[in-house]
Copies of this chain bind each other. A is one copy, B any other.
């Protein structure tokens, strides 16, 4: 029993380690069943609703796939064709789309200080309407990326590391470098690095966060990473260069993000509708970025890692030098070598999402999985 039943999954640090293990175990069990051609359908009918307030391909399809695997029909709330623009409140809309909905997946990662708040608002509205008997069930809210965390990504990354190293216990003492990397873009969310440092420190990993001056993360998440490292017997340190962070690393996660202060200022300017100042901010931010073009994960940089052969991981899409841009997060040689592994990393996400649905919607998810395995209905006629 994980405490997830009839609840939400917004931030990994709101849940204990046992719960996170249960997510991994359930995801693995579902993936095994699916690969074995066994149906994982647990819903006859029901909706899986997604709300994407930012672009998405892989998380959108992971959500749709995860829902479909369990038998839910997916729908996407398109805020441009709905009446939300007509002055509707979040509270009301959440209920209106929740009558036969089992799960609501939300991506809201653009505005720092907003995304998580919005997700909690939706969850509170659904909880109220369920408590008052308006909704016959309490749809779970699943965070598909907020300003604070990107749990379906970090848990998929964790599942990948478990697979790479042969077990969750094997992660103890392994060094992971979560490093800022250069990208010719601006405004990338902080949720991935924040999600990684707060999750990987819970399993005894030696996590090093590296970034140029001024590119710090939201302080709350750094504090949590420090505390979790202490509790799990791992470590958490901050380094000033990618090279330092990579030293002896088993895993490297080089990725661009925007400084938290830039993101906060951007939120303020967007709200105020100050277009000229937004352009100034973008220009300045790109100029600052450009000072750190040497934060590229290339073969020279990789040589410093454990046996020169650290596992490169990334949430995708990566900004690959000479492929998607002139200078980016990773060189073509390093990326191409790891490419199929990054696909494997991503392949866990539909099952992580399906696991979160099972754990939030069923009182005894283990029993449900066991029954699926026992009945072994084929996923398609054979």
Stretch at the interface among A21-29, A246-254, A318-326: A318-326
CB proximity of A376 to chain B, nearest CB, Å: 12
| Complex partner residue of A55 from B56, B73, B82, B185, CB under 8 angstroms | B82
Enumerate A266-320 residues with CB–CB distance to B below 8 Å: 316-317, 319
CB proximity of A77 to chain B, nearest CB, Å: 8
Stretch at the interface among A44-52, A112-120, A201-209, A228-236: A44-52
CB proximity of A53 to chain B, nearest CB, Å: 11
Tell me the complex Cα distance, A340–B132, Å.
8
Does A264 reach chain B (CB closer than 8 Å)? no
Does A89 reach chain B (CB closer than 8 Å)? yes
Tell me the complex Cα distance, A88–B88, Å.
35
Does A215 reach chain B (CB closer than 8 Å)? no
Residues of B within 8 A of A179 (CB): none
CB proximity of A163 to chain B, nearest CB, Å: 12
Known A-B contacts A81-B55, A136-B35; A325 and B43 likewise in contact (beta carbons under 8 Å): no
Question: Are B52 and A343 interface neighbours, CB within 8 A?
Answer: no
Residues of B within 8 A of A371 (CB): 381
Which of A56, A70, A85, A134 has the most CB atoms of chain B within a 10 A radius of its CB? Answer: A134
| Complex partner residue of A379 from B45, B74, B97, B362, CB under 8 angstroms | B45
Closest chain B residue, CB of each to CB of A71: B45
Question: Are A100 and B46 interface neighbours, CB within 8 A?
Answer: no
Does A99 reach chain B (CB closer than 8 Å)? yes
CB proximity of A335 to chain B, nearest CB, Å: 10
Residues of B within 8 A of A362 (CB): 381
Does A2 reach chain B (CB closer than 8 Å)? no
Question: Are B56 and A81 interface neighbours, CB within 8 A?
Answer: yes
Question: Are B350 and A99 interface neighbours, CB within 8 A?
Answer: yes
Question: Are A73 and B74 interface neighbours, CB within 8 A?
Answer: yes
Does A86 reach chain B (CB closer than 8 Å)? yes
Residues of B within 8 A of A47 (CB): 64-65, 68
Does A334 reach chain B (CB closer than 8 Å)? no
| Complex partner residue of A81 from B52, B87, B323, B347, CB under 8 angstroms | B52
Question: Are A88 and B44 interface neighbours, CB within 8 A?
Answer: no
Tell me the complex Cα distance, A93–B324, Å.
14
Does A377 reach chain B (CB closer than 8 Å)? yes
CB proximity of A32 to chain B, nearest CB, Å: 10
Question: Are A377 and B92 interface neighbours, CB within 8 A?
Answer: no
Question: Are B46 and A319 interface neighbours, CB within 8 A?
Answer: no
14 A-B interface contacts by CB (under 8 A): A46-B380, A55-B85, A56-B83, A57-B96, A61-B75, A61-B99, A68-B100, A83-B317, A87-B319, A87-B323, A88-B317, A132-B343, A134-B343, A135-B347
Taking Cβ atoms with an 8 Å cutoff, the residues of A that contact B are 34-35, 39-47, 52, 55-58, 60-62, 64-65, 68-71, 73-75, 77, 81-89, 92-93, 95-97, 99-101, 128-129, 132-136, 185, 316-317, 319, 323-325, 339-340, 343-344, 346-347, 350, 361-362, 368, 371, 377-381
20 further A-B pairs in the complex, CB-CB below 8 A; given A87-B317, A132-B343: A41-B45, A47-B65, A57-B77, A57-B93, A61-B75, A61-B97, A64-B73, A69-B100, A86-B185, A88-B316, A92-B317, A92-B339, A99-B350, A128-B340, A129-B340, A129-B343, A134-B343, A135-B347, A361-B380, A371-B381
